[in-house]
Amino acid sequence: MKYKNEFGDDFRWGVSTAAYQIEGAHDIDGKGPSIWDAFVNRKGKITGGHHGKDACKFYHNYANDIKLLKHLNIENFRFSFSWSRIIPQGTGQVNTKGLDFYDRLLDECLENNINPWATLYHWDLPQALEDKGGWTNRDIEQWFMQYADICSSKFGDRIKHWMVLNEPMVFTGAGYFLGMHAPGRIGLKNFLSSAHHAALCQAQGARVIRANVPVAQIGSTFSCSFLQPMTTSRKDELATRRFDALLNRLFIEPSLGLGYPVSDLKFLRRIYDYHKPGDEALLPFDFDFIGIQNYTREIVSHSYFIPYLQAKLIKANKRNVSATVMNWEVYPEALYQMLTKYGNYSGIKKIIVTENGAAFPDTLIDGSIYDEARTNYLKNHIAEVLRAKQDGIAVDGYFVWTLLDNFEWAEGYFPRFGLVYVNFNTQERIIKQSGKWFREFLGNQ
């Protein structure tokens, strides 16, 4: 695999980013606080006490960063809107300066022949809405639909590709069950209510976009992990099935009209406590594509002591395998397996790999980053995408996570995923070896 034309002329190549992770400018030009603006102030929650108040200062540097995309031959740019920049209180009054920023960003993209791919929600809920219950409050359905209406009616003339939610399993699981991400809530009740409301918003937001932009390509993105049992025992196999229902099926299957995977995960039956009459008909939506976001393989073992799941993941450092600084196993075939898994759903028309990438220790030597491990990671994972495509899976795009080293949520600035190195003191950008390789790959016909 030396040339991108092996994928066909219509295959989409790009990079993905998220507002809170790169924009900075957390409290200027009328922006309201988000749950992450609040969460980073809680002691012990973020590695090194880091925060995203400045991040990559993309809000100020966007024009140069878009030109950097053009230099790298990257024609598709996935970004997210900041809900609290557009509607500071989450609902009600719109912030015109927030809209103006995204107007400028979109115009800059189009002037440089870069296609913008917009994500409505990438985890930064306005804090004012969290104060009212956030994703656990059924009213979020209406709040989110208003937000989707404002964004799609304002920007639908320039954005052809839309994603509704980014990884709902992660922001509900880590944010409302485990308390590891914003807003830091814990407990099954918080998780099940937020999960059901997110699944509703996933479809309802898409309906709003469809009404405002009939010609749009609409999708949503799903985190996923290739899961294998630690042993061939019946207990480990059943534990793996339960984890699969939770991590890989919980949000995609309702969108396809299949309901929640309660048969393989019994505690999920309690999610119906949060249903209202008519919800079953609201959950499905006929998406034009789905985005899958895969980074690794996980090994699953039965465990009596883990509530609800009776299962645990055996971390990479316990298995003596090659891993990234996130302690995620480097296992390229995982991407092929997940493309195959989702490709086997009859209701999925098209798949885009909307995130794939790796954080490795980057060392600046004489002004350069020689990140051979990341370069090899990308080469090997792109090869697995081609393998899936050649097997007949309807995969039509691949987006690297991410363009710039950025704020990586609870891990702060320690993990560097970018094709471009960022000096967070000076905001200098340096293209890494992996970025140079990707530029050459995209330029080779």
What residue spans define the domains of the chain? Answer: 4-443
> Do 258 and 229 form a contact (C-beta atoms < 8 A)?
no
Q: Quote the CA–CA distance of 312 and 304 in Å, as a whole number.
A: 9
pLDDT at 1: 61
Is the four-CA dihedral 184, 190, 195, 198 of positive or negative sign? Answer: negative
Q: 33: helix, coil or strand?
A: coil
Q: Which position among 108, 355, 384, 408 bears the catalytic label? A: 355
- C-alpha dihedral (343, 349, 354, 357), degrees to nearest 10: 20
pLDDT at 3: 78
Specify burial of residue 179 (Cβ count, 10 A radius: 0-12, 13-18, 19+): middle
pLDDT at 444: 80
Q: CA–CA distance from 387 to each of 248, 333, 346, 391 (Å)?
A: 21, 10, 20, 6
> Do 217 and 160 form a contact (C-beta atoms < 8 A)?
yes
List CB contacts of 425: < 8 A, sequence separation 6 or more.
none
> Do 230 and 309 form a contact (C-beta atoms < 8 A)?
no
- 0.85 exceeded by pTM: yes
Helix axes 96-111, 140-155, angle to 10 degrees: 50
Q: Quote the CA–CA distance of 26 and 24 in Å, as a whole number.
A: 5
Q: Which position among 130, 167, 253, 408 bears the catalytic label? A: 167
| Segments of 17-70 assigned E as strands | none
1: which 2 tokens? 């695999």
- C-alpha dihedral (407, 410, 414, 416), degrees to nearest 10: -50
Say how many C-beta atoms besides its own lie within 10 A of residue 160's C-beta: 14
> Do 47 and 412 form a contact (C-beta atoms < 8 A)?
yes
Helix axes 372-390, 333-343, angle to 10 degrees: 30
Active site residue 167: yes
CA diameter of the chain: 64
Binned average pLDDT, 10 residues per bin, the chain of 445 residues: 87 98 98 98 98 98 98 98 99 98 98 98 99 98 99 98 99 98 98 99 99 98 98 98 98 98 97 98 98 98 96 98 98 99 98 98 96 98 98 98 98 98 98 98 86
393: which 2 tokens? 């899976």
> Do 331 and 324 form a contact (C-beta atoms < 8 A)?
no
Strands 290-302 and 311-314: antiparallel
Instruction: Name the architecture of domain 4-443.
Output: Alpha-Beta Barrel (3.20)
End-to-end CA distance of the chain: 11
- Give the angle subtended at the CA of 183 by the CAs of 301 and 179, to the nearest 5°: 25
Of 13, 33, 120, which is closest to residue 73 (Cα–Cα)? Answer: 13
Active site residue 440: no
Which H/E stretch holds residue 313? strand 311-314
380: which 2 tokens? 């090997």
> Do 290 and 219 form a contact (C-beta atoms < 8 A)?
yes
Q: Quote the CA–CA distance of 344 and 239 in Å, as a whole number.
A: 22
Q: Quote the CA–CA distance of 122 and 142 in Å, as a whole number.
A: 18
